[in-house]
Amino acid sequence: MKFVPFFLLGSGLAATGHLAAAPPALIWSDEFNQPVGTGPDPTKWNYDLGGSGWGNQELEVYTDARENSAVVADPDATDGKALAIIAVRTAAGGYTSARLKTQGLFTTAYGRIEARLKLPIGDGLWPAFWMLGDNIGAVGWPACGEIDIMENLGQDPTRVYGTLHGPGYSGAQGLQGAYTLPNGQLFSDDYHVFAVDWSPDLIEWSVDGHVYFTCTLATIPPGTRWVFNGAPFFLLLNLAVGGSWPGNPDATTAFPQTLYVDYVRVYALLTVSTLAGQAGTSGSANGTGSAAQFNHPCDVAVDSAGNVYVADTNNHTVRKITPAGVVTTLAGKAGSSGSADGTGTAAQFNHPSGVAVDSAGSVYVSDTDNDTIRVITSAGMVTTLAGQAGTSGSADGPRTAARFNGPSGIVTDTAGNLYVADTLNHTIRKVTSSGVVSTIAGMAGVSGTADGTGTAARFYGPQGLTLDGAGNLYVTDTNNDTIRKVVTSTSAVTTVAGLAGSIGSDDGPASQALFYYPSSVAVDDAGNLYVADTDNHTLRGITPSGVVSTIAGMAGSSGIADGVGVAARFNFPTGIAVDNTGNIYVADTNNHTIRLGIFPAAPLITTQPQSQTVTVGANVQFSVTASGKPAPSYQWYLNGTALSGATGARLSLANVQTTDAGSYTVTVINNSGTVTSSVATLTVNSAPVPPSSSGGGGGGGAMEGWFVMALAFLALVRARRFRPVPLPGRPNFRCLSI
Ligand SMILES: [Ca+2]
Please write the tens of the pLDDT for every residue from 504-537: 998 877 888 999 999 999 999 888 999 999 999 9
CA 186 and chain centroid, separation: 33
What local confidence, expressed as pLDDT, does residue 499 receive? 96
Which of 58, 146, 204, 704 is the catalytic position?
146
How many whole angstroms from 502 Cα to the centroid of ligand 1?
A: 23
Between 28 and 449, name the one with better pLDDT.
449
Q: Is 151 a catalytic residue?
A: yes
Q: Quote the mean pLDDT of the chain.
A: 89
Which of 60, 114, 151, 204 is the catalytic position?
151
What local confidence, expressed as pLDDT, does residue 157 receive? 97
Rounded percentage of the chain residues whose pLDDT exceeds 90: 76
How many whole angstroms from 511 Cα to the centroid of ligand 1?
A: 14
Predicted confidence (pLDDT) at residue 231 exceeds the cutoff of 80: yes
What local confidence, expressed as pLDDT, does residue 736 receive? 60
What local confidence, expressed as pLDDT, does residue 383 receive? 97
How many whole angstroms from 507 Cα to the centroid of ligand 1?
A: 14
Phi-psi region of 417 (alpha: psi -120 to 50; beta: other; left: phi over 0): beta
- DSSP code string of 190-212: S-EEEEEEEETTEEEEEETTEEE
How many whole angstroms from 114 Cα to the centroid of ligand 1?
A: 13
The confidence band for 213, taking pLDDT boundaries of 50, 70 and 90, is very high
What local confidence, expressed as pLDDT, does residue 10 receive? 28
The confidence band for 107, taking pLDDT boundaries of 50, 70 and 90, is confident
Q: What is the rounded distance in angstroms from the CA atom of residue 408 to the CA atom of residue 28? A: 35
Predicted confidence (pLDDT) at residue 77 exceeds the cutoff of 90: yes
Q: Kindly report the three-state secondary structure assignment for every residue of 328-355.
A: EEEECECCEECCCCEEHHHCCECCEEEE
Predicted confidence (pLDDT) at residue 3 exceeds the cutoff of 70: no
Half-sphere exposure of 209 toward its Cβ, with a 13 Å CA cutoff? 14
What local confidence, expressed as pLDDT, does residue 655 receive? 96
Q: What is the rounded distance in angstroms from the CA atom of residue 51 to the CA atom of residue 719? A: 56
How many whole angstroms from 32 Cα to the centroid of ligand 1?
A: 5
Q: What is the rounded distance in angstroms from the CA atom of residue 41 to the CA atom of residue 58? A: 26
How many whole angstroms from 84 Cα to the centroid of ligand 1?
A: 10
How many whole angstroms from 595 Cα to the centroid of ligand 1?
A: 35
Least confident of 156-170, 282-296, 595-609, 688-702: 688-702
CA 20 and chain centroid, separation: 11
Predicted confidence (pLDDT) at residue 732 exceeds the cutoff of 70: no
Q: Is 704 a catalytic residue?
A: no
Mean pLDDT of 697-708: 40
Predicted confidence (pLDDT) at residue 19 exceeds the cutoff of 80: no
Q: What is the rounded distance in angstroms from the CA atom of residue 15 to the CA atom of residue 107? A: 8
pLDDT tens digits along 461-478 = 999 999 999 999 999 999
How many whole angstroms from 151 Cα to the centroid of ligand 1?
A: 20
